[in-house]
């Protein structure tokens, strides 16, 4: 069986406070996008005598050993509670850039949970899948629901939103810079926003430029001027709104579908234009 894990963008991102457990409370809107990886699971023994999962990967290279991949961890997480879960061969074709603020790895993990649940009739409810997903990463629960959500807590407290960007085109630009999430959080100064994100997001897109803020941008733009330059160029090209997604390094721009925009980014940049 084959599925197509999609990524997300963050519409605004406020870091509210640091918690006693070392995590941060945040406020953001997760919005699913149409850029997808490809994930295939084939039931059957992978050939080893002791392991129960064989993992292969193509496309954009993923750093680290296969055992550390979130898809493999998702399988093992369910295997602990469902010992009769059969052996599988799992192949991931990676299209979404890694470490780019798009949640591609989180999507792959969440889709693995859903695919295993559906393929082997495990009967896991959506609520329980969200609990499993949170054990894999703070962004993972969103991809169980996979629709626009206002997120709080670490990102796991999700409120579905009636939000559509239909009529807009989304331009994703990634310069290939890997941002260390821990260092990005360390540079922040958490604070409560002057205006609730839920209120801002209901305003017309052309009003977002002055109010819809990603708190990571200030420190990351100072450390990586090339990322700041992408946002500037997107506005110069005519985007109604541009922002960094998550903790970077992808910057996206929203512009009306049918509008022609001109940009001149280096040839090694990952650039993708898709309907929003």
**How confident is the model at residue 189, as a pLDDT?**
76
Cβ burial of 121 (10 Å; 0-12, 13-18, 19+) is: exposed
Give the SS3 label for residue 239.
coil
**How confident is the model at residue 134, as a pLDDT?**
94
Q: How far apart are CA 164 and CA 161, in angstroms?
A: 9
Does residue 170 surpass a pLDDT of 60? yes
Sequence spans of domains, the chain = 2-160, 168-275
What is the Cα 224 distance to its own chain's centre? 21
Whether the CB-CB separation of 55 and 68 falls below 8 Å is answered with no
Digit-coded pLDDT (tens) for 37-82: 999 999 876 555 556 899 999 999 988 898 999 999 999 999 999 9
Three-class SS of 113-159: HHHHHHHCCCCCCHHHHHHHHHHHCCCHHHHHHCCCEEEECCCCEEE
Digit-coded pLDDT (tens) for 201-230: 999 999 999 999 999 999 899 989 999 999
Digit-coded pLDDT (tens) for 87-109: 999 999 999 998 899 999 999 99
Averaged pLDDT of the chain:
92
Q: Provide the 10 A C-beta neighbour count for residue 148.
A: 20
Q: How far apart are CA 242 and CA 230, in angstroms?
A: 9
Options 3.30.70.890, 3.40.50.150, 3.40.190.10, 3.30.70.330; CATH for 168-275 is: 3.30.70.890
139 is catalytic: yes
| Sign, Cα dihedral of 116, 122, 127, 131 | negative
> What pTM does this model have?
0.92
**How confident is the model at residue 193, as a pLDDT?**
81
25 forms bridges with which residues in the sheet? 17
Whether the CB-CB separation of 37 and 94 falls below 8 Å is answered with yes
Q: Which of 37, 108, 139, 215 is catalytic?
A: 139
**How confident is the model at residue 46, as a pLDDT?**
59
Alpha-carbon distances of 109 from 71, 169, 204, 249, rounded to whole Å:
5, 27, 33, 21
Instruction: Just give the CATH number of 2-160.
Output: 3.30.230.10
Specify the residue for token string 């205006």: 195
Q: Provide the 10 A C-beta neighbour count for residue 125.
A: 9
Digit-coded pLDDT (tens) for 223-257: 899 999 999 999 999 999 999 999 879 999 999 99
137 vs 23: which has the higher pLDDT: 137
Digit-coded pLDDT (tens) for 177-201: 988 766 677 777 777 888 889 999 9
Digit-coded pLDDT (tens) for 2-21: 999 999 999 999 998 888 88
Q: Which residues contact 176 (CB under 8 A, 6 or more apart)?
A: 97, 249, 268, 269, 270
272 is catalytic: no
């Amino acid at each position: 069986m084959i599925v197509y894990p999609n990524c997300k963008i963050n519409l605004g991102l406020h870091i509210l406070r640091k918690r006693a457990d070392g995590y941060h409370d945040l406020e953001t809107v997760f919005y699913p996008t149409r850029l997808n990886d490809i994930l295939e699971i084939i039931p059957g023994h992978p050939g080893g005598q002791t392991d129960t999962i064989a993992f292969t990967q193509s496309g954009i290279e993923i750093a680290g050993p296969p055992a550390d991949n979130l898809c493999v961890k998702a399988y093992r997480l369910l295997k602990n509670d469902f010992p009769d879960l059969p052996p599988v061969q799992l192949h991931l074709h990676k299209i979404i850039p890694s470490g780019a603020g798009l949640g591609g790895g989180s999507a792959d993990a969440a889709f693995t949970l859903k695919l295993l649940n559906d393929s082997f009739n495990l009967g896991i409810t959506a609520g329980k899948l969200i609990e499993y997903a949170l054990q894999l990463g703070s962004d993972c629960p969103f991809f169980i629901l996979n629709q626009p959500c206002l997120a709080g807590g670490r990102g796991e407290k999700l409120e579905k939103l009636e939000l559509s960007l239909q009529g807009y085109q989304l331009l994703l630009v990634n310069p290939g810079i890997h941002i260390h999430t821990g260092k990005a959080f360390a540079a922040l100064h958490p604070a409560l926003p002057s205006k609730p994100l839920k209120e801002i997001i209901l305003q017309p897109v052309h009003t977002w430029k002055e109010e819809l803020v990603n708190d990571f941008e200030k420190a990351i733009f100072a450390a990586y001027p090339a990322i700041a330059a992408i946002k500037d160029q997107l506005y110069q090209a005519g985007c109604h709104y541009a922002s960094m997604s998550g903790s970077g390094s992808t910057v996206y721009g929203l512009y009306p579908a049918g509008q022609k925009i001109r940009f001149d980014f280096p040839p090694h940049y990952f650039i993708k234009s898709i309907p929003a």
